[in-house]
Chain A
């Protein structure tokens, strides 16, 4: 019995390893085409009707949630994971309060975009604006990004001088403080939260044709587009001086400093960029949901995020994306087991860490492809 199991496992490994190598061996343009096809498939996902694959849909099970809606949550989580990956995977900073940025992004659009928010009401009264006035959705995007980046810098400025483990507890505290402030302040709507958060078509109403409350498909496509753009942006950073500096800091901060890497500056940038992505994610979440309340931003959530990122394969975008996707998707697909889902998640974490500590899809620090590599590689020295 165990023999056959091992055999199957061996064969599977040979098979998958072969796939990886064969894919890498393909010419670049074929890889690009394959990637485009995959992206196309992602856009098609809400309609998923391929026989055999419909099993994956969440609305085929009793009381299952709308499939596109689940996909939207998955995209939001993936966006969070990509941002967190900058901080944890690339720069190697343990941030356990990432949910704080998510919350700040969400509250940015809520406080400035919703006609019901205390901030907007105060602005209306102060400047004698109409009761329908609120900051438009499009302007809330840069607002949310700015606020989260600033908060990332504010959090990072005093704390990034601390060593790793101290950073973990301080960031955890930050995440908790954001939630407590949101719950206990009158200007954030308090425990009741804030409703009527706008989307691309303005305040939520039955007249909205595309980004309405009923059909989540356009929301998913919007979130997916943001994810793709951000993957592209993060890859640009990764393959630049900035990415190298982050990796160097992660590997050996003192040695990096001696080699002229201004560690503090780049760590701060990592925090700011990670925060911006988390904020963007929270922004999308709040717009889609049209309503937010403090309990949605429990610090517990950010521990789950970190766990998903590490279990997926920190430092590697496909890895962290898979980790975050599973974190959002599995509980929706297996609702019958919802009572056991946290237990199962914990068990899965322990097993992954014990059996595959590098994560599900580990970061394959691929050799830098040099244009003139073949010319220089022979050992003629």
Chain B
């Protein structure tokens, strides 16, 4: 019983391989987690509907590719075109959805000065509406899509093979992370965001347009979720109306793990969560990866009640 339940050989025999796999899985979590973290950092609100923002991104990718007549493994030029088109369309759709959600629901609640629980329930309601709308419109079955990028081994280090999709995922996620970090820390808009995160009322007095900043936050989160949706499509090759629920849950876990409200925390949390899941799946079976993820979360929160890096969008070192 003992020997079969936990299989250390499977893990440590290919540790590098599993780490790479975990990193690429975690990159997607991290990108979605950023959406949660941005909104939480400024509004102290769990945007439960963010998972559906991501879901809409995946459907947009599918739609865009089918409109452009994508087929399995096209020529390299077409691949780049399709990827770019998918990225732009998904980011636009997700960003628009996120902003719309803010305008339709949250802004009203903010005006009413509603307690956090009301925000949360509204977000849950919106999440149900969006995912069900897609369930009714696109059907409830798994939706496949053409394999734009054929999986192939890009390079090998020791016994660790890195595939092209893994490389694209990790690199793309890191670039976007870096871009966001720069945006928040270096630009005028980013300064507005940090100001509102620290003290909304003072920021408003200093001439920061709070509504604009909040819309910007939702837009940024949506754009990143759109990018994550494209990477998800590359990695898994399918989507479904309720794809957002589990992924959103994981991403939120990642955000909390790293310290919700903290951008670098979201990256760290996402990558860590991805690795933990892959390790756990290898050690036991994929049935237990979610359990491992949550156990790690609880243990981390026990010792660091505000996550690994703490909450600090407001503090200058976002």
List chain A positions with a Cβ less than 8 A from chain B: 88, 94, 158-159, 161-166, 168-170, 172-174, 176-177, 180-181, 183-184, 300, 303, 306-307, 310-311, 314, 339-340, 342-343, 345-350, 353-354, 357
Contact = CB atoms under 8 A, between A and B. Distances in A.
A353 B125 contact: yes
B132 A342 contact: yes
Contacts of B114: 353, 357
Contacts of A176: 249, 290-291, 294
Residue among A161, A180, A348 with max Cβ neighbours from chain B (10 Å): A180
B305 A349 contact: no
Contacts of A340: 132, 136
B282 interface: no
B92 interface: no
Contacts of B302: 158
Contact of B124 (A158, A170, A183, A303): A303
Contacts of B295: 177
B204 interface: no
Nearest to A155: B298
Interface stretch (B24-32, B64-72, B77-85, B104-112): B104-112
A264 B263 CA distance: 31
Main secondary structure of the interface of A (DSSP, over half): helix
Interface of B: 40, 44, 46, 105, 108-109, 112, 114, 116-118, 120-122, 124-130, 132-133, 135-136, 245, 249, 252-253, 256, 260, 285, 287-288, 290-291, 293-295, 297-298, 301-302, 305-306
Contacts of B249: 172, 176
B313 to A, nearest CB: 14
Sorted from nearest, which 10 A-B pairs have the closest CB atoms? A346-B128, A349-B125, A173-B294, A346-B129, A343-B132, A350-B125, A353-B122, A184-B287, A310-B121, A342-B132
B121 A159 contact: no
Contact of A183 (B40, B125, B256, B287): B287
Residue among B109, B118, B127 with max Cβ neighbours from chain A (10 Å): B118
Nearest to A178: B291
Given A349-B128, A353-B121, A162 B105 contact: no
A345 B127 CA distance: 11
B312 to A, nearest CB: 15
Given A307-B124, A345-B128, 16 more contacts: A166-B301, A169-B256, A170-B298, A173-B253, A174-B294, A176-B294, A180-B291, A183-B287, A346-B124, A346-B129, A346-B130, A347-B129, A349-B124, A354-B108, A354-B109, A357-B109
Contact of A166 (B44, B256, B294): B256
B288 A184 contact: yes
Contact of A339 (B136, B245, B253, B288): B136
Contacts of A172: 249
17 contacts: A161-B305, A163-B306, A165-B44, A165-B116, A170-B297, A170-B301, A172-B249, A310-B121, A314-B117, A340-B132, A342-B135, A346-B130, A347-B129, A349-B125, A350-B125, A353-B125, A357-B109
Residue among A94, A172, A303 with max Cβ neighbours from chain B (10 Å): A303
A166 B108 contact: no
Residue among B124, B126, B245 with max Cβ neighbours from chain A (10 Å): B124
Contacts of B260: 165-166
Residue among B114, B117, B285, B302 with max Cβ neighbours from chain A (10 Å): B117
A177 B129 CA distance: 26
A311 B121 contact: yes
Contact of B125 (A159, A165, A346): A346
A163 B44 CA distance: 12
B195 to A, nearest CB: 22
A339 B112 CA distance: 33
Contacts of B117: 88, 94, 310, 314
A323 to B, nearest CB: 11
A349 B136 contact: no
Nearest to B257: A169
Contacts of A173: 253, 293-294, 297-298
A269 B117 CA distance: 21
Contacts of B112: 357
B81 to A, nearest CB: 36
B199 to A, nearest CB: 19
Contacts of B105: 350, 353-354
Given A310-B117, A353-B109, A169 B122 contact: no
A159 B298 contact: yes
B136 A306 contact: no
